[in-house]
Amino acid sequence: MGSYLVISVRFHDGRYHGAGEWPPSPARLFQALMAGAALSGPESLRVFRDALTWLERKEAPTIAAAPVIHGQRVTYWVPNNDDYPDGDPRLIGEVREKKIVHPVLFDQNIAQRYVWAIGTEPSDEEAASLIADLADRLFQFGRGVDMAWAWAEIL
């Protein structure tokens, strides 16, 4: 039987504000891992590049997630920073964009788990080990308000 890479993610407050999906897709996890890798600058990204490419090419993981209930839908009006009237940033108050947020609520004590089969090559083990190290750098998952942390194991 082969080995597995298991990344477990916990959210700070049992809410997820990502648009339209639960559990968060593997692509969102990949983005969060990339953000964590970038914390130490471009050199850090170079260290993890091959491992991230390895993960990106893997089949979709098996995902285990907490059951959810849908929270209240809330509408915010936020600045559209790409559309200053007449190019004048002092007029930003005149430009607003509707943003609807519909969080899901869940037990924050239940970790979300993403499980990949590693493979049998030595390079697979090395890549999985680097991804496991990278999981420790995860600090948010989804939108910026979705603070989270992760850890990984090779089983």
Range 137-150 average pLDDT:
93
pLDDT at 143 over 70: yes
Two tokens, residue 105: 């609520």
Residue 47 pLDDT: 86
Distance, in Å, from the CA atom of 84 to the CA atom of 129, rounded to the nearest integer, reads 46
Is CATH 3.30.70 the right assignment for the domain spanning 4-68+107-154? yes
Residue 81 pLDDT: 65
Q: Alpha carbon of 79 to those of 58, 96, 97: distances in Å?
A: 38, 5, 6
Range 88-115 average pLDDT:
87
pLDDT in tens, 69-98: 999 999 988 877 666 656 676 776 677 788
To which H or E segment does residue 52 belong?
A: helix 42-57
Backbone CA torsion sign across 94, 100, 105, 111: negative
Backbone CA torsion sign across 87, 92, 93, 99: positive
pLDDT > 90: percent of the chain? 70
Residue 135 pLDDT: 98
Radius of gyration from C-alpha coordinates of the chain: 18
Ordered by start, the domain boundaries in the chain are 4-68+107-154, 70-105
Two tokens, residue 93: 């108050």
pLDDT in tens, 27-65: 999 999 999 999 878 888 888 999 999 999 999 999 999
Cross-strand pairs, 6: 115, 153
Residue 34 pLDDT: 93
Indicate the SS3 state at residue 19. coil
| pTM score, whole prediction | 0.86
Mean pLDDT, the chain, whole residue set: 90
Residue 96 pLDDT: 77
